[in-house]
Structures are given as C-alpha cells and as structure tokens.
Structure 1
C-alpha cells in the first residue's frame, strides 16, 4: 500500500522544529559537540527492530534537514509499505554532528507513526472479508492529530473528522441538552452549511427510529451488541451510513463488521498504539 496523501510541508516543519527546540534546549547537543569533530562525516541507516507498517518518513527526513540541510536522507521504502525485522527504512549521510543530534527526534516521530499504522493494519486485516472500514477518532496526541490520522491511512484505515469544525457529530450529551434526537437534528440542519455532513449517536433502536424519521447522513451506533447492530442495519436499509463504536477490540471487530455496518471507529488506533521499535545504526567503514 502506498501513502494516501502528502503531509503539508508547513505542518511537518512546524512540528519538527518545535520538537528539536525542546530537545536542543539552551545549549544544544553538548555531548555531540564535546565528542565529535565539527568536520566529521557519517553514514547511517534507520532499521526496523520488529515487523510493521511504515508511516512518517517525510517527518523523520525533516528532522535531519532542519538541523543541517547538508544531511542527505534517502528512503529505502515508502509510507504504507510493510517491513520485517531488520529491514532498512532509510539511508542517511552527511555531517556526523547533525545526524547524531537529530536522531532521537526523527526516531520519536517515525516510531510513533509507524506504530499507529501497524496497529491500524492489524484491525483492517480482521475485517478485510467485509465491506466495513476501520476509522480513527479524535483521541489523538495533542498537536499531532494530522500526523496520526495520516498514519491511520497508511495502515489501511479511514479518517473520521479531523476536528470540531469539519462535520457535525451529535453525541449523547448534545442530545440530552438539546432536548432529544429530533430537536438536535433539526437544529443541526438549520445551522450547518450544505457541504457539512451530519452524524448522530444513538444507543437504542428507538432512538434510531427517531433519526430515520428526521434524516441524517450517518448514524453512530454506540455500544450496541451484535444482534442490535444487525437489527439497526436492517432498519436503516441503506438510507444512511451506519457506524459502530464503543470498546472495539481486535477480538471483537470482525463480529461487529459482519453485522453489515459501514464503518467501525476505534479510539485505540491512536490512543493505544505501541511505538514501533526502530533504531539508527552508524555504518562504519
């Protein structure tokens, strides 16, 4: 699988620059300055210590480039590719000080995003025999949402909304304050522009029937058992897209997908992904 899109260079540089500033502190990399001659050059590789799915090569490249534009970062694979233990993700060559100083920031970003992509791929594989797509949520690392959602796509998942401003998602608390499903949907339709989709969360079939009477683009079936999900899909009858959510795991996602829902949202894709173990190895000789 290839990368789904290119992360905007402006966002990448802004995030990486902030991470480098945090790591360099006030005096810079004093260990490297103390031990490595300013004129020294080095060659290195970023290699996988375990199998996974690649995401974030451009982010890692930016870390080296921002420390010193003379560093040459050459990918050996591409975002969205599957890698095995020992596989090389990139070759790096240039000023040794810059390579050593940028190493941790580059690996932090790359390992995190590869971890998200890898976990997403595991979920996607579980439901490959169905029409359902696994999608992310807004349970992301603050300020890294676009990066993590990009990684979800690299792993074969789909993106839910990116923020509060790109879609209307009426949840149980909105319904409670608004006075019910009907009032909440009518208010949303009156407010939203013609390009904005409206989704509403329900947790009972009775609420779903109210949604069907009012109309929406997507209905979020929250914490429903498989039998209820099947009944809900039958009631919807293709009138709108059906999304399941709530405590979805690798052990339960296939059963949920087999009920006929279109989407399954999984917060764990981003809030519980394990960083993929990667390392930077200096090539000697």
Structure 2
C-alpha cells in the first residue's frame, strides 16, 4: 500500500487504476514490467473489479554465462566449433616455418642453393605474404566462416601441390609465398577471427583450446616427416599431405561451424561496414597489425630458422 505524503491519501496500485478505468500512464501507456493489462479484452473482468494481472512474460531464460561453466562442460557443448579451431590450427602447419624447414636440405641440394640463398628467398616470400595479408585478411569481415575456411583450405592444398613441383628459384619463391600466405597467414587468421567473434566471455578459453592443434602439429609433425622422408621422396610427400585436410576437414565444415549455446558473440552482423572501414583506416591500424609486425621482423628470425633447419652451420 502506497501513500501520498502531500495529501495523506492512499495511492492506488496499478491494478486498481486499471480496474477503475483511469488513464494514468501506469496502466494505459506504461504497464508494469512483466505484466499485461487485460482490461478491454474479450473475457476481461468488468469495471470495478481487479483484473488478473499476474501473467508473467514467457521469455526463455538465458543460458548460464560461459565464465560460470566448467571447462569440461564447455568442451562438451562446444566441441564441434572447438574441433574446427583445432583442425585449422593443425592444418596451418603446412605453411609454418618449423615444418617447411624440415625440407630445407632436399630443396637446397636439388636447386643448388646455399643456406644463405634459401634463407633469403624464404624471407622474401614471407614478407610478400605478410603484405598481401593486409588486404586479403578483410575477407574474414565479408565472408562466413564456413565459406572462408573452405576457400583457404583449398588454396592451401593447391599451394602444397605446387610446392611439390618446384624446379627453379622463381617457382620456389612462388611456392613459399603461397604456403606462407594460406598456411601461416590465412588459416591462422580464419580460425582466430572466428573464435574471437563467436565467443565473448569465454574468448580466451576457446582460443587456448584451439591452439592445441598447433601444439599437436609441433609435437608430432617433425618426427613424422623425418620418418617418412626415410622411405618417401620429399616431392611425393608434399603431394600426399594436402589430402589430410581435403578428406579430414572439408566434408565436415558445415557441421563444425554451426552455432551452439555458449556462443555469445556476433557474426558478420556484429560489425557494420562503416565501422570496419573506419577501424581499418585509422592511423594506428597499419602499424599495429600482426602482419606488419611480421614484416619488420621477417629478415633475421625467418632467415635464421630456415638456415638452421638443416642442422648445419653456414
């Protein structure tokens, strides 16, 4: 019961105001949150009677916030999209430095290159791919995850097939450029962008779980390649490797990229075209891009890694 201290009279409740027919905003224009006024509807109570205003809105209850969900339950519900991130991270190893450097000795011996020459060509290809990624990376803002992943994986497999047929320095630079662009560049960019968009509260947890694919590739990839190089030619091995993502990932992209309960982020609709253009043209944007960071450090680190991949000194 409410009272007016100015007049000493009791203020009527919203239900009584509705029953008396008063045109106060509490009933006519602004009904109480969670209730619906039934006056004037067929079968409603007559004037002077307090109508039944205890009909709450039947909105579905939101799911539990991802931060309050245990990691095991989070993985059980989100295993499809997390598996997509793990698989994409694993496939990106085809363009990673630790994987390409395993074939440094065979490539140098066939093309007659020194350690320094191979490292220089590798740095040129890496720098060119990093510059290209500044423009190609915006596809993640205009294409859906399923279509972009399909395109990137197909291009990565084509680059691997091309790399198996290198017979000159120009072909070597072109093959390294495509492997670095679609392996280390676009494949990593695709799954990290998708994880960051689909998850907000659990973004760090999702990215850390997807990173397990790269950890698995770094742990089993070099040992497997060294064992296979003892029985297979390196060109034949590069022709076999693309079939792993073609058979193991592409047929399941639609299932793995479906939305699930704990994905509280937005997709392409989460950021408008004007906002993307304004962000991409901001002055700090080019200098803060990961691709630009790769450009500034492309010389020495990639040169040293490529040269030391064979296990001998310059």
Instruction: Place the TM-score, normalised by the shorter chain, in its bin.
Output: under 0.3
Q: Normalising by structure 1, report the TM-score.
A: 0.25
Structure (1 or 2) with the greater helix fraction: 2
Specify which structure has the bigger relative contact order, considering alpha-carbon pairs within 8 angstroms and separated by 6 or more residues.
Answer: 2
